[in-house]
Amino acid sequence: MTRVTLERLAFKHQRWCNLVRNMGCNEAYIEDVVQDAYIKIYSYLENGLDINYGSDDVNDFYFYMTLRSVYFGSKQKKDINNNFVEVTKDRLEYVFDNLKSEFYDSEEEEAFNTLINSIFTEINSWSFYDKNVFIAYFSTDNSIRTLANDLGVGVNSIFNTIKTFRSIIKDKFGEDAQDYLNGDYNKLI
């Protein structure tokens, strides 16, 4: 199973390289980032994680988030600023544009776009601090303690922010996400 999943990921290798390039990675390190992501996914697969999407594809979004985690983790970002949020939004839009080609059902595509746009609209309505802490935590490999040290903020503050806003996302969009996963696209459109 692990081998088949890795082969499916490798089949899309050029796409992964292009995504990392568009994150702003230096050309000399693009292949390294993608290979590190393969290694990370391999260890997850060996521990029982299943990232297959249906019987013949893999979860592209999960691998994309792994690529982001590897890339931004390797940069060891020391602060969070507006440019980070702007870049993240632009890069995610690029990813979602690329993922559109994976959808064969226009209703599924429209439901996916509606769900993702709703989530990002919600995130963008939060305060500067909350939005950036949430994005930094979910887009890097940094622990809460590391983020707290880097930002000079208390661990409890970051933990409570993440906990609060994770539950907000779950409460507001959990049912919609479940509808999407169940194929009830008409409930989202």
In this prediction, residue 174 carries a pLDDT of 86
Kindly calculate the radius of gyration of the chain based on its CA atoms and give it in whole angstroms: 17
In this prediction, residue 90 carries a pLDDT of 61
Are residues 61 and 88 both part of a single domain? no
| Predicted TM-score (pTM) above 0.95 | no
Domain that holds residue 16: 1-75
Are residues 41 and 102 both part of a single domain? no
- What pLDDT, in 10s, does the model give residues 176-186? 888 888 888 77
In this prediction, residue 84 carries a pLDDT of 41
- What pLDDT, in 10s, does the model give residues 158-171? 899 888 988 998 89
Among 75, 105, 130, the domain boundary falls at: 75
Among 40, 75, 110, the domain boundary falls at: 75
Give how many domains the chain has, as a whole number. Answer: 2
